[in-house]
Amino acid sequence: MALTDTAIRKAAPHQKPYKLSDGGGMYLEVMPTGAKYWRLKYRIAGREKRFALGVYPVVSLASARQGREEARKLLVQGVDPSAARQEAKQARAEVIAMAADTFEAVGREWMGRQEVAEVTANKTRWILETFLFPEIGSRPISEITPRELLAALRKIEESGKLETAKRAKIKAGQIFRYAVLEGKVKTDPTTSLRGALKPPKNRHHAAITDPVQVGELLRAIEGFNGQPVTLAALKLAPLVFVRPGELRQAEWAEIDLDGAMWRIPPERMKMNAAHLVPLSKQVLTILRDLHPLTGEGRYVFPGLRSASRPMSENTVNAALRRLGYSGEEMTGHGFRSIAATRLNEMGWNADAIERQLAHSESNKVREAYTHTAQYLDERKRMMQAWADYLDALRAGGKVVAFNPKTG
């Protein structure tokens, strides 16, 4: 006999579950707790199965009957309603996941997992947020085609930023490869874009390497009449030859004046490895003279507008321009080229030079060797000899390079 709403409402719980049939395989199961569940009993492929139609009274008698008829239509077609429901559920989950896994969402997830120096992380974020996220950030990452990605990259290329377009392609590829590993996409579309972008012109950081001209540059720095903090940075740049970002973000807490050592933490290094800079007597003099001006704060070279921020990245280059050196002649990064060129020509150990420049080592055995105390002693000797050599160049006249073998 078919059920009625009145009979369903009056159905009281018993000590054990019991069923009230509505016909066509559908019944109401009344539980000891008082809960009432709509079920459909059916057979498919010779097997008896159960199909949940909902909970009363959320699902009314009329709605449960409608569900029964829809399930029976599927059975007539040979389709298992339980399997059909699971497939529909899976499809909905995939749509939701696809909406959540946009290129920007996956890109930010990837960035959060990277253990790189702060300067590298900032550059990556700038490229993604400025150029790629506005173009394809809202798109499901699994739907982005090579042509769609290429269109975003060519917009960068058309603005004349060839190097940025190249780097954006590299970052996109890293995000897609991460997505492949996470099961969010099947392939990396950047693999089919090989050769699709114009190659950027090779650029080298301008630097003066002729000893006579280096002496002229050092004398020009001595005559700089700008801010004393900027002058100190200009004087230190050739002596320590770290990267410009590492110099301007130097913190007093990293510098041991008594131990004559600057310990740069890994998060501020390009290669994400701690770096030691032995401090020559000349460097210690500059730092001790600067300490009364900035020593109470965090940064050795604080910004002019706010001591809570480091010196601007353009300060040293702007100072060089004031001294009359164009961007094609000399840059802040060029002090590294001066040191690398002259130290190699002077005969210093190439490994010591590379380690002091904080370049990555491809040979792990050699890298382990370069961390020994004996090797650090050699770098200390080299840095003091380099400072003495620069003093001699600044003084003018004929300079005899220090011989690391004879002293």
> Active-site residues: which are they?
243, 270, 333, 336, 359, 369
Cβ contacts of 358 within 8 Å, gap of 6 or more: 242, 243, 246, 269, 270, 271, 273, 275
Q: What are phi and psi of 322, to 5 degrees?
A: -65, -30
Question: Which amino acid appears at position 231 of this protein?
Answer: L
Number of H helices, E strands in the chain: 17, 7
By residue count, the chain amounts to 407
What pairing do the DSSP bridges indicate for beta strands 26-30 and 36-44? antiparallel
User: Please, what's the largest Cα pairwise distance for the chain?
Assistant: 116
Q: How far is the C-alpha of 353 from the C-alpha of 131, rounded, in Å?
A: 37
Cβ contacts of 254 within 8 Å, gap of 6 or more: 262, 263, 264, 265
Burial 95-129 (b: 16+ CB within 10 A, else e): eeeeeebbbbbbbbebbeeeebbebbbeebeebbe
CA distances to 119, 137, 178, 281, 283 from 130, in Å: 16, 11, 21, 44, 39
DSSP per-residue codes, 75-113: HHTT--HHHHHHHHHHHHHHHHHHHH-BHHHHHHHHHHH
Q: Which two tokens stand for residue 185?
A: 């996409």
Q: How far is the C-alpha of 219 from the C-alpha of 211, rounded, in Å?
A: 12
Q: Comparing C-alpha atoms, which of 40, 37, 11 is closest to residue 23?
A: 40
Q: How far is the C-alpha of 192 from the C-alpha of 256, rounded, in Å?
A: 51
Q: 103-113 and 162-181 helices cross at what angle (nearest 10)? A: 90
Q: Which two tokens stand for residue 400?
A: 């005899």
